[in-house]
Amino acid sequence: MGKQSRRKRERQPGETKVHRYLARAGLPDQPDPGPYRRLAAADPEWFDQVVVADDFSLLLSRKRDAEPGAILAATRTRYGLLYRDLDTALAEYASRPVMIAAAWLRWWFRHHPPATRLLDIGCGPGVLTCAYGLALPEAEVVGIDAVPEAVACAEELADRLGVRNVSFVTGDFLDPTVGGDGFDQVVAVTALADAGLYPQDPPEGSDALSSVADVDGPGPEFRSADADRLAGRLSPGGSLLVLDRTPDPSQAVRLGAALLHAGVDLDLGRAGVELFVEGGQPTTFTRFAGVRSGAPATLDRTLRGEELAAWIKCVPPPAFGPEWHDELRFEALKADGARLVWGCELNYSPTLERREIWEHDGKVYGWITTTGSFRELATGRSPEELWNEYGAYAGRCAAKGVQVRFHDPA
Ligand SMILES: C[S@@+](CC[C@H](N)C(=O)[O-])C[C@H]1O[C@@H](n2cnc3c(N)ncnc32)[C@H](O)[C@@H]1O
């Protein structure tokens, strides 16, 4: 079997559709920062403004007490710059969010319920809205975005693609008077954190333990009037599909809890976690899907909240947190040609631990993994330090009777 046909076979369902759609929209399959970098180089003043606006938005998203008006103003400034015209918007999209869009569409093509009226919340330049319109030719598809430049880009993209069943509204999606209601599908992809719907700040102390404490503690109780408004857009029995930034498990719990309290019966079997590398940094996203039950939004959903926290904890490791991120950094180094120079395997039975030293581009990296979820990438150390630490540890273990096997990288 040739390489090509094997690759074709390995494609997941929906992949071909996504690939074709992205090509039609003028987007690559994999992130391509080239065009965006060239735009930045051609207009450094504009790019400086983008960087300042990005940083400011990030700062606000981490503040529990940020003023909603300030969040919206920052959103308008930031996306007004990024979406100054469709080519800029698509270049920025190609440089980062294209992987998020591709993963989301792969999932959506496979799992979306039928819809006659679909609302795309925070539609940005309309890349996803147009895909929904093409996939549901009989449906009325509406995109809403607070930024007029986003809506102008989205309208132009729909024109370019010849999608006739989509329309766009400029306005704050948290304002129920804008954009209508009675939708049987509401989709929000990477929009809710941007709108400040749930706090993005890591819990106090920001270590793995306090994060789990937040999952057990106030996380499942988290409510948001904005989530209630969002659910209010749905007709009873309508579906809400969400993918959003949740770098810490407690944020996933807050988002899920807000949706549960808003009267959306989450189907945890369809929820999931995705990880993307953005600007060199791995970031975790959580996907929720549920149906508006029609129950009053004030219904006490504490029990489901506990179920949600339990679900988050059961996401297979290392799905959230530093372990998973370290794993990705390590994978990136390996893909970039890092070389194993030393390693050993410790058998604590039933757990195995590996300690390795890798070299790349004149730097060394320590890499510790266990058959459990532990992953640790040590950077910024000298070869001697790592060698002494790992070697001495292996020696102490061996002296205590632990089976130690050394790799021979040759
Ligand atoms: C990261 S972009 C996502 C675009 C699109 N959903 C996608 O994934 O391709 C987030 C969008 O949400 C919009 N947004 C943020 N807060 C909003 C609000 N309160 N009302 C309407 N749109 C908002 C922003 O203007 C931006 O275009």
Please, which residues have CB within 8 angstroms of residue 103's CB and are 6 or more apart in sequence? 274, 276
Q: Is residue 286 in contact with ligand 1, taking CB distance under 6 Å?
A: no
Q: 348 and 203 in one domain?
A: no
**C-beta separation of 186 from 242 below 8 A:** no
Q: 327 and 289 in one domain?
A: no
pLDDT of res. 261: 86
Q: Is residue 72 in contact with ligand 1, taking CB distance under 6 Å?
A: yes
Distance (Å) from CA 119 to ligand 1 centroid: 13
Distance (Å) from CA 202 to ligand 1 centroid: 22
Q: 241 and 132 in one domain?
A: yes
Kindly give the number of the ligand 1 atom that is closest to the alpha carbon of 100: 8
Residue 266's H or E segment, with its range, is strand 264-266
Name the β-bridge partners of 340. Answer: 358
* Residue 88 within a domain: yes
Q: Is residue 145 in contact with ligand 1, taking CB distance under 6 Å?
A: yes
Using alpha carbons, list the distances in angstroms from residue 231 to 4, 119, 251, 345.
Answer: 45, 11, 19, 51
Distance (Å) from CA 121 to ligand 1 centroid: 7
Kindly give the number of the ligand 1 atom that is closest to the alpha carbon of 78: 25
* Residue 184 within a domain: yes
Q: 373 and 332 in one domain?
A: yes
Distance (Å) from CA 226 to ligand 1 centroid: 15
pLDDT of res. 9: 43
Rounded to whole angstroms, how far apart are CA atoms 221 and 300? 10
Q: 145 and 50 in one domain?
A: yes
Instruction: Decide which of 253, 285, 316 is a domain's last residue.
Output: 316
Among 147, 172, 230, 243, residue to substitute to test ligand 1 (most atoms within 8 Å of Cβ): 147
* Residue 2 within a domain: no
On the CB side of 77, how many CA atoms lie within 13 Å of its CA?
Answer: 19
pLDDT of res. 318: 61
pLDDT of res. 5: 40
Q: Is residue 172 in contact with ligand 1, taking CB distance under 6 Å?
A: yes
Instruction: Decide which of 270, 296, 316 is a domain's last residue.
Output: 316
Using alpha carbons, list the distances in angstroms from residue 172 to 121, 147, 156, 185, 307.
Answer: 9, 9, 21, 18, 32
Q: 188 and 72 in one domain?
A: yes
Q: 375 and 238 in one domain?
A: no
Residue 67: which CATH number? 3.40.50.150
pLDDT of res. 279: 63
Query: Which residue from 367, 317, 309, 323 is spatially nearest to 341, judged by alpha carbons?
Result: 367
pLDDT of res. 92: 94
* Residue 393 within a domain: yes
* Residue 82 within a domain: yes
Rounded to whole angstroms, how far apart are CA atoms 253 and 211? 10
Q: Is residue 163 in contact with ligand 1, taking CB distance under 6 Å?
A: no
Q: 119 and 71 in one domain?
A: yes
Q: Is residue 131 in contact with ligand 1, taking CB distance under 6 Å?
A: no
Instruction: Decide which of 301, 316, 331 is a domain's last residue.
Output: 316
Q: 292 and 394 in one domain?
A: no
Range of the domain at 389: 323-406
Q: Is residue 123 in contact with ligand 1, taking CB distance under 6 Å?
A: yes
According to the 3-state scheme, what is the secondary structure of 4-59?
Answer: HHHHHHHCCCCHHHHHHHHHHCCCCCCCCCHHHHHHHHHCHHHHHHHHHHHHHHHH
Distance (Å) from CA 125 to ligand 1 centroid: 9
Q: 369 and 304 in one domain?
A: no
* Residue 59 within a domain: yes
Residue nearest to atom 14 of ligand 1 (CA): 122
Distance (Å) from CA 76 to ligand 1 centroid: 10
Domain count of the fold of the chain? 2
pLDDT of res. 6: 43
- Integer-rounded Cα Rg, in Å, for the chain is 23
DSSP 8-state assignment for residue 88: H
Rounded to whole angstroms, how far apart are CA atoms 386 and 399? 20
Q: Is residue 166 in contact with ligand 1, taking CB distance under 6 Å?
A: no
**C-beta separation of 58 from 194 below 8 A:** no
Q: 267 and 177 in one domain?
A: yes
Residue nearest to atom 13 of ligand 1 (CA): 122
Rounded to whole angstroms, how far apart are CA atoms 26 and 379? 38
Q: 238 and 100 in one domain?
A: yes
Beta strand 403-406 pairing with 339-347: antiparallel
Model-level pTM greater than 0.85? Answer: no
**C-beta separation of 76 from 146 below 8 A:** yes
pLDDT of res. 334: 87
Q: Is residue 189 in contact with ligand 1, taking CB distance under 6 Å?
A: yes
Rounded to whole angstroms, how far apart are CA atoms 247 and 254? 12
* Residue 257 within a domain: yes
* Residue 394 within a domain: yes
Residues of the chain with pLDDT under 70: 1-13, 202-218, 278-281, 294-303, 317-319, 321-322, 373, 408-410
pLDDT of res. 11: 55
Distance (Å) from CA 166 to ligand 1 centroid: 17
Q: Is residue 174 in contact with ligand 1, taking CB distance under 6 Å?
A: yes
